[in-house]
Amino acid sequence: MTTALALTRPQKAAAILVAMGKPSASRLLKFFKQEELRALVDAARMLRTIPQSELERIVAEFEAEFTEGAGLLDSADTMERMLNESLSPEEMNALMGVETEQEADAPPPIWPDVEKLESARLGAFLAGEHPQTAAVVLSKLAPQAAANVLLTLEKSSRGEIIKRMMTMANVPDSAVRIVEDQIRARLLVENAVKDMSAGQARVANVLNELEKDKLEEMMRDLEASGASDLDGIRARLFAFEDILLLTQKARVTLFDGISTELVTLALRGAEPAMTESVLSSIGARSRRMIEAELATDIGNISSDDISRARKSIASAAIRLAGEGAFELPSTQKQDAAA
C-alpha cells in the first residue's frame, strides 16, 4: 500500500492526474513539456494502490502549494517559539507529526498487505513453516482472512496451528519482526514484482491521452531508456488511427454503440481509407446520414473537438477489449510474435 509520505513529487502529480479522470487530465497534459511527460510516465509506472485517505492528503498538499507563504507568518513563528519553550522535544515531535529517527527507520506494518494475498498462496507458504510461525502469522490477521487461510491447509496442520494459537502468549517484538522480515522478503516483494498490471494500465491510460505521433515517440523513448514490461503497456494502447487494424467484426462491435454525431465529428478531416473503414462498419441508413453531414461545410468545429471525439471512440475500443468483446491490434501482434 502506498502512502503520501513515500511518494515523490512526480508520483503525487501522476496520482492527482489519474484521480481527475481522462476528460480533465487530457486538458492538462497538453501543457506539459516532453521531459515532464516522461517524468509523469515513469512516476505512474511505480505507483501502487493509494488509499482514499492518502489521496486526500496528496490533494490537500497540492492545494497548499497555492497558498504557501500567505497568512500570519509572524504569528506562526511566535507560536512555534512558545511551543518550543513549553514542550519537550518529544512532545513537539508528536504535536507536529514529526517522526523520531527510530520511527522513521522502522518498516511500515505488513499485515494489511498480507491480508490482500490469495488465501491459497499464503496457505502454501505457511504449510512449509513451523506451526508456531503459522500461528503467529494467523494471529496477526483479521478473523475472516485467517479462517480463509486455514481452510487451504491440511486438516492435521490446521489442528496443530489452532492449538498453538489457543495457548500462545504475547509474542516478543523481536520474534514478530523476524516473521515479518521473512514474509516481506519471500511473499510481499515477489507479489509486488508480479503485480505490474495496475501500473501498466495506469501508464497506458496516460499515454492513450496523447496524439498518435506523441504516443509513439514516448514509447520509443521508454524503450531507449531500457524500461521493462513495455509489452504489457503496448497491449493496452489504442489510438483512433488503429481502427484500420481492427477486424471487420471488431469494428462493427465498436461502432454499434456509438452515436452518429460522435462518428461524424471524429471523421472530420480523416483520411479516405479511415472514413471508408468506419462507414463500412455501420448500417446503411447511418452511413448515408454521416456522409451527408461530412459533405457539408465544417463550419466552426475546432480541431480540439475532433480530437476529443476520436479519443472517446478509442476509449470505447479499449473498454470493449477489456470486457473481452475483441482484441486490440497490439495484443494480436504479441500473440503472433509468440
With a threshold of 0.75, does the pTM exceed it? Answer: no
- What confidence tens digit (pLDDT) does each residue in 148-193 have? 889 898 888 888 898 888 887 777 777 788 888 878 776 655 554 4
Amino acid at 213: D
- What confidence tens digit (pLDDT) does each residue in 123-156 have? 888 888 888 888 888 888 888 888 888 989 888 8
pLDDT at 223: 83
Q: Which three cell numbers stand for residue 43?
A: 512516476
- Please report where in the chains the cell 487461510 appears, as a residue: 149
CA dihedral 108, 110, 116, 117 (to 10 degrees): 130
Percentage of the residues of the chain whose pLDDT score is greater than 90:
18
- What confidence tens digit (pLDDT) does each residue in 274-308 have? 999 999 999 999 999 999 999 887 778 888 899 99
pLDDT at 276: 96
pLDDT at 336: 45
Q: Which three cell numbers stand for residue 180?
A: 515479518
Sign of CA dihedral 167, 173, 175, 180: positive
CA dihedral 73, 79, 81, 87 (to 10 degrees): -150
Residue 209 and residue 26 in contact, taking contact as beta carbons nearer than 8 Å? yes
pLDDT at 199: 67
- What confidence tens digit (pLDDT) does each residue in 231-249 have? 778 878 888 999 999 999 9
pLDDT band at 82 (very low <50, low <70, confident <90, very high): very low
Which residue did the predictor score with more confidence, 309 or 56?
309
User: Given a cut of 80, is residue 31 above it in pLDDT?
Assistant: no
Calculate the alpha carbon distances from 192 to 44, 79, 97, 117, 188 in Å: 15, 44, 29, 11, 6
